[in-house]
Amino acid sequence: MSALSGKVQTVLGPIEPDQLGRTMTHEHLTMTFECCYFPPAPGDETVAQAPIQMKNLFWLKQNPYSSHENLLLLQETSAVREELHEYRKEGGGTIVENTTQGIARDLPCLKQLAKDTGVHIIGGAGYYVDATHSEATRKMTVEKLTDIIISEVLHGADGTEIRCGVIGEIGCSWPITDSEKKVLQATAHAQTELGCPVIIHPGRNPGAPAEIVRLLQEAGGDISKTVMSHLDRTIFDNGDLLEFAKMGSYLEYDLFGSEMLNYAYNLEVDMPSDSQRVKALAFLVQEGYEDNIVIAHDIHTKNRLTKYGGHGYSHILKNIVPKMLIRGINQTQVDKILIDNPKRWLTFK
């Protein structure tokens, strides 16, 4: 049993789980997504290179990954701070900040934001997808990776004493790479030692979540303390969803507010609307999975901030919760999704 047992670890230190309140389990407050830049379609080069402005907001909503400027969320700390004040006003308590190594994690910035706004912020340990792994990371043994992840939770990360409270988002591609498999094994080993929460970014294929869960299980991971992210762009068939749900992880719908016609990273995917996401939640609740669902917006580009006409960090609290109630998810179930499930997941064993 570690000293963290029964606690949640925020960037300002351990707290009691009851202090968390309503929690978004997958957000970014500062990061770069340059690793995933997607070149604009022929003819769109000019708008892609233009500064973000009113007249290109719709283009940006449809092509968020084709503007370099849009990928630099780390330039927007003032706007994010304002949004966090708003989030508090709307009844938000906690944000899990999923930025890991490879996409410019900035724990001192998170600590300052937590101090300035009173929002509990939880930082993420570990590594994003293979495309961001350094050569040194790729050469590391599972043991070395495990030591680094454990140290980021117990002692602090990036040369600071600021400690991470979850492992993840751990990035996986499709097909999964050898380096990502090693990081997954290290994640499971670190989780066994720490009894901590884990959160996974799966590759963009319906088979990816189950393959990852099997890899974690083989390495001794605790699936009941693991969140599978981005299900809204990964599993579309209800039968497949129920098969995956049986494996026992938390089921995360975390792209609320993101609606687009063509999903650049996988044109096979029809990115759902928010109404379709709520429908998926209602289906899972009806099938008995209300204790496994968690939700968020996964803001990772500028255009999703209210400063740029986006929905912001309070969209779920302001707009999605009322829609959930309309669609038959009752208040107790909403509270499970926003409060009880995140609390159970985030509390160290």
Ligand X SMILES: CC(=O)NCCS(=O)(=O)O
Annotated binding site for a divalent metal cation: 26, 28, 169, 201, 230, 298
Among 111, 163, 189, 233, contact with ligand X (rule: CB under 6 A) = 233
Q: Which is nearer to ligand X, 230 or 277 (CB)?
A: 230
Q: Residue 69: how many CB atoms within 10 A of its CB?
A: 15
Give yes or no for residue 230 binding ligand X (CB under 6 A). Answer: yes
**Bridge partner residues of 252 (DSSP):** 294
- Residues 244-283 vs ligand X: string with x where CB under 6 A? -----------x---------x------------------
206 prior amide bond cis, ω within 30: no
Among 105, 163, 201, 225, contact with ligand X (rule: CB under 6 A) = 201
Provide, rounded to whole angstroms, the least separation between the CB of residue 286 and ligand X: 25
Give the interface size with ligand X as a residue count (CB under 6 A).
7
* Residue 278, burial from CB neighbour count under 10 angstroms (0-12, 13-18, 19+): buried
Q: Which is nearer to ligand X, 165 or 203 (CB)?
A: 203
Q: Which is nearer to ligand X, 99 or 185 (CB)?
A: 99
The CA distance from 73 to 160, in Å, is: 22
- The most distant pair of C-alpha atoms in the chain lies apart, rounded to whole Å, by 59
Among 76, 106, 252, 298, contact with ligand X (rule: CB under 6 A) = 298
The CA distance from 265 to 262, in Å, is: 9
Provide, rounded to whole angstroms, the least separation between the CB of residue 330 and ligand X: 29
Q: Which is nearer to ligand X, 233 or 277 (CB)?
A: 233
Q: Residue 230: how many CB atoms within 10 A of its CB?
A: 21
Give yes or no for residue 189 binding ligand X (CB under 6 A). Answer: no
Give yes or no for residue 7 binding ligand X (CB under 6 A). Answer: no
Give yes or no for residue 130 binding ligand X (CB under 6 A). Answer: no
The CA distance from 322 to 37, in Å, is: 34
The CA distance from 123 to 241, in Å, is: 28
Provide, rounded to whole angstroms, the least separation between the CB of residue 106 and ligand X: 14
Give yes or no for residue 300 binding ligand X (CB under 6 A). Answer: yes
Provide, rounded to whole angstroms, the least separation between the CB of residue 108 and ligand X: 20
List the one residue out of 75, 140, 128, 78 whose CA is nearest residue 103. Answer: 128
Provide, rounded to whole angstroms, the least separation between the CB of residue 132 and ligand X: 10
| SS3 assignment, position 249 | coil
- Tell me, letter by letter, the H, E, C secondary structure of 189-218: HHHHHHCCCEEEECCCCCCHHHHHHHHHHH
Q: Enumerate binding residues for ligand X (CB under 6 A).
A: 201, 230, 233, 255, 265, 298, 300
